Structure 1
Amino acid sequence: MLGEDNPNVMLIGHERLFYNGLLGRACRLRAPGAFVIYAAPVGSFGLSVAGGPIQRRRIATVRPYVAHRVTSSSDLISVLMIEPESVAEDQLQALEARSATPAGAAEIDARIEAARAALAGTTDCSGFATDDFDRLFLGRLLAPRRLDERIERTIRHLVHDLPAATVTAEDCAREAGLSKSRYLHLFSQETGLRFRSVRMWKRARALMPHVNGPENLTHVAMDLGYPDSTHFSHSIRRIYGLTPSSIFRGSRQLRIVAGAHCPAA
């Protein structure tokens, strides 16, 4: 049971992720590859985007790969992550616009707060689907992005075929029957993202199911395809604003719930 005595929880699906727990070291730059919605479990949080001034918010969105800093006096944060290639662009724009209005932000805030309460009283929500997640946290389904089947196949490789370092643009282009340059253009055209950035993010995201486990960090780095511990630490810190060891220390009491076809480590 999740329970009110342990509010630290992470729901991990292939297309969605929710985290409620410790923020970790404040003011460090982070740049995850997901569309992020931040919410304050207590009070408010501070957000600085792309070097701008810190603004106090209850709800805020940040675009994929945009560097930002988050601070919280309570050291607690709620985070929704939406994989951008899984959602139509107009849906992300609507979420962004909605969160920027007082009424929209209040609605999203109330929805996330209700979701936290629902999770606290739920004995088992493993095996949840993307639609379940969207209904719970957003109160509506997000229309999916329609991708070229060759790019959909690449995304499946990046999500399922670890280590992600072995999924190369050359191999994907060959499988798609395209030159590398034409393939990379198609990938960017379909997703709005760069292949290399997406691969780096998917590999870092694959760390999440391991963070409360007993695994040795060196072994986790090797399993995820990082060439060495230095590269592993640098890449994870660049994306999450924390080193792998800090993430593991702060996740000892974290409850991880896996979505459909997304087994926890």
Structure 2
Amino acid sequence: MLIGNALTVGLDKAVYLGELPATGWHRHAAPVLLVGLSGRFRLRWPDGRSEHCHSALIDAGVEHVFDPDGERVAILYLEPDAPEVQRLRVLFAQRGPVVGEPLSRVVDRWHTEQRLNHFDLDALIDRRLWPSLQPVDARVLRSLRHLRDAGLPSMPDREALARTVHLSSSRFNHLFSEEAGVSFRSYRVWSQVRRALAAYRPDGSLTDAALDGAFADSAHFSRMFRSTFGMTPSSVLKPLRSVTVLR
């Protein structure tokens, strides 16, 4: 079993394992799978409802509060071009933007954490939930991957990406939101945060992480991080004992 908090970043997924404080209100820019590894967590919704879960799938853009209630949890982020998300688009359309208890209750934490770290969702989620694949427009796929390119010195803006796929800025913005399920602006911020997370090292500084994410400064990084996760960068990054980046 993994000890301490750990982050694994893959090409189209990322997973955070560990203990975290309750978040504030926030919206993710990517679909997430939440898993209570040692017990149930609590979700709160803007209409005042609150529920306890062992697992939940939440679509991008859904406002909520996530409270681990002191339990060890997993947060798995799925990029819009991940094969699983291309199926989840259909599932969310059928069942709504929140799917409760897609996983069986965790009995063997070690095996569950290993599967999460290897992004083995087929072994975790009931296959009967998976609809047929819904492909993403090739122009949006190209833009998503361009934004995630860790070798870029800075983050391209909407106009630059629109030109690369021969679309007007407004048409590109509409197509991106329609295909990715989230606005270009929100996803661009998430891409910056993702780059900062992937570059962070347990003995590193938050300022270095901010620069690696192409943020203007650590204050800008902190604001965008809170809007993305509902938590401060230090509460998420400082407890990390390992960061693994899969190429």
Relative to structure 1, is the Cα distance of residues 143 and 156 closer, same or farther in structure 2, using a 3 angstrom cutoff?
A: farther
Secondary structure of 1:166 counterpart: coil
Structure 2 residue aligned with 1:84: 80
Unaligned runs of 5+ in 2: none
User: For 2:36, which of 30, 40, 48 is the aligned residue?
Assistant: 40
Residues 163 and 223 of structure 1 are in contact (CA less than 8 Å); yes or no, is this contact kept in structure 2?
no
Q: What is the letter of the counterpart of residue 118 of structure 1?
A: H
Aligned Cα root-mean-square deviation (Å): 3.1
More helix by share: 1
| Residue of 197, 221, 228 corresponding to 1:232 | 221
Distance 1:220 1:9, change over 3 A: closer
Q: Give the TM-score normalised by structure 1.
A: 0.76
Q: Determine the C-alpha separation between the residues in 1 that align with 2:145 and 2:55.
A: 31
Q: 5 Å matches for 1:37-186?
A: 37-86=33-82, 87-88=85-86, 89-93=89-93, 99-100=99-100, 105=101, 108-110=103-105, 113-114=107-108, 116-118=109-111, 133-138=120-125, 140=127, 144-161=133-150, 166-186=155-175
Answer yes or no: is the 8 Å Cα contact 2:196–2:211 preserved in 1.
no
Seq. identity, %: 25
**1:121-162 deviation per Cα after TM superposition (whole angstroms, max 9, x unaligned):** 79xx98x5xxx6223432647865422222111011111156
User: TM-score with structure 2 length normalisation?
Assistant: 0.81
Report the Cα distance in structure 1 between the residues aligned to 2:114 and 2:57, rounded to whole angstroms.
Answer: 27
- C-alpha change, 1:27 and 1:8, in structure 2 (3 Å) is closer
Does the residue aligned with 1:206 lie in a helix, a strand or coil? helix
Unaligned runs of 5+ in 1: none
> Could you tell me which of 178, 183, 208 is aligned with 1:219?
208
- CA offsets 1:73-131 (integer angstroms, 9 cap, x no match): 3242222222234322114456869943xxxx2x6134x554x4226679xx98x5xxx
Q: Which residue of 2 aligns with 1:13?
A: 10
Contact 2:58/2:99 (8 A) holds in 1? no
The one-letter amino acid of 2:137's match is D
Per the alignment, do residues 214 and 172 of structure 1 end up closer, same or farther by CA in structure 2, a change over 3 Å counting?
Answer: same
How many residue pairs match? The answer is 241
Cα distance in 1, alignment partners of residues 90 and 185 from structure 2: 24
Deviation sequence 1:149-184 (CA, Å, 0-9, x none)? 221110111111566853111111111112211222
Deviation of 1:68 after TM superposition, in Å, equals 1.3
Question: Residue by residue, what CA displacement relative to the aligned partner does 1:30-52 show, whole Å, maximum 9, x if unpaired?
Answer: 32212122222223211102353
Quote the residue 1:193 is aligned against. Answer: 182
